[in-house]
Amino acid sequence: MAECVRTTLNPSHFLLHSTKTPTQNPFFSSISSFEAKPNARKYPKISLSVMSSQNQSQGQTQVPSLDALLNSGAKEEVFASIKASLYNCLSETNLQLTVPGLKSKTRGKVRDIYDSGDYLVLVTTDRQSAFDRILASIPFKGQVLNETSLWWFNRTRHMIPSAVLSVPDKNVTIAKKCSVFPVEFVVRGFVTGSTETSLWTVYKNGVRNYCGNVLPNGLVKNQKLTANILTPTTKAEDHDVPVTPDEIIERGLMTQDEFDEAREKALSLFEYGQRVALERGLILVDTKYEFGKSSDGSILLIDEVHTPDSSRYWISNSYEERFQNGLEPENIDKEFLRLWFRENCNPYEDKVLPDAPEELVCELAWRYIFLYETITKSRFEMQPMGEPIHDRISRNVSSALSSLQ
């Protein structure tokens, strides 16, 4: 059986040190379908929705106010399932011990990546990271991230190829390898954020030229930019470092042609994501993309796309009024958890962080599910408790790798 560890609500809060080499990370080359296809014994699926049946039946895409969502009856039903899973999160995996053909494991912030020779097995866990640390484990988060990314991969094939080969489990993607560019393409449409590299943080500290973007005086927090901007980062030992396009080329992280193509793709993907989000009553505020290069030289979109982890979302119908009144936007992402840690500790320097409150963990799980349903217009099917997740993942990954031989 797969040795996957389902741990407590708040795992150890340690600084993240990736074991990946910064210039030659293998990653994923062409997507077929975003839908998981477990090869297996059947367990009853639990289909719950954060949206009311009335809204679903009427096909509404306008998102109600956050207060209305917080007090909806549908939320109570989902919350009950979330609370029942608080101590059954997927926080760690060790598939290399049990699945034949897996050669090594790389532990990322959220994903555990296994090398199987020709392919990579990416397991999306429930780990919650921010400030380059693990803050908590969030029920169903890994499933939401994996399925949301695959939905977007499938719908952006007309813009850029991906590398997904198969989805044998709701938490797992199998992909071909490619050489990963050691640059994250962060695209922003608003002046906001609370981390050290966020646009609002650097702007309020007086920076007016950020990652090659000249910023005018007089901007205020949460203001929409006149045009979307790219603010790339690269990896230091344990944190992201802002970098200019010129520095990317000078350091040999990418060639000029590679950077120009990836930059164009990132901005186009962001504009497309903003349009889709707005049709669903949301604002895609900012996000990050990662790219790799396949053996034939083509640029591939990898990692994740427009997920609650990689992206910031606000509710659109209340944004303008709240902005004019100096209020924070209604957000459907992990920003409120980041803010809680900033208010209760120094998440960058404290060796030990406080446990995330249970109610905040449940709230974040609900918001992840809400975003999945709002974006995909699909009901979220929670994995049942009948079969241990380690057995399920091991069985499904083994079967999928065997079929690829």
Can you give the CATH number for the domain in which 301 is found? Answer: 3.30.470.20
Cβ contacts of 341 within 8 Å, gap of 6 or more: 130, 131, 135, 347, 353, 354, 356
Residue 95 lies in a domain: yes
Amino acid (1-letter code) at residue 280 = R
Structure tokens at 337: 């958890």
Give the SS3 label for residue 196: coil
| 3-state SS, residue 214 | strand
In a domain, 370, yes or no: yes
User: Does a structural domain hold residue 185?
Assistant: yes
Does 21 fall in a domain? no
- End-to-end CA distance of the chain: give it in Å, rounded: 21
In a domain, 384, yes or no: yes
Digit-by-digit pLDDT tens for the chain (405 residues) are: 443 444 444 444 434 433 443 333 333 333 333 344 444 444 334 445 555 444 444 444 556 555 665 555 678 888 889 999 998 899 999 999 999 989 899 999 999 999 999 899 999 999 998 888 899 999 999 999 999 999 999 999 999 999 999 999 999 999 989 999 999 999 999 999 988 889 999 999 999 999 999 999 999 999 999 999 999 999 776 678 999 999 999 999 999 999 999 999 999 999 999 999 999 999 999 999 999 999 999 999 999 999 999 999 999 999 999 999 999 999 887 878 888 999 999 998 999 999 999 999 999 999 999 999 999 999 999 866 667 787 899 999 999 999 987
* Tally of domains within the chain: 1
Residue 22: its pLDDT value, please?
37
**Residue 318, in any domain of the structure:** yes
Query: Does 43 reside within a domain?
Result: no
Q: What residue numbers bound the domain in which 310 lies?
A: 70-80+90-404
For residue 274, which amino acid is it? Q
Task: Find the radius of gyration of the CA atoms of the chain.
Answer: 20
Residue 167 lies in a domain: yes
- pTM across the whole model: 0.82
Cα gap 129→16, rounded to integer Å: 9
What is the residue type of 124?
A: T
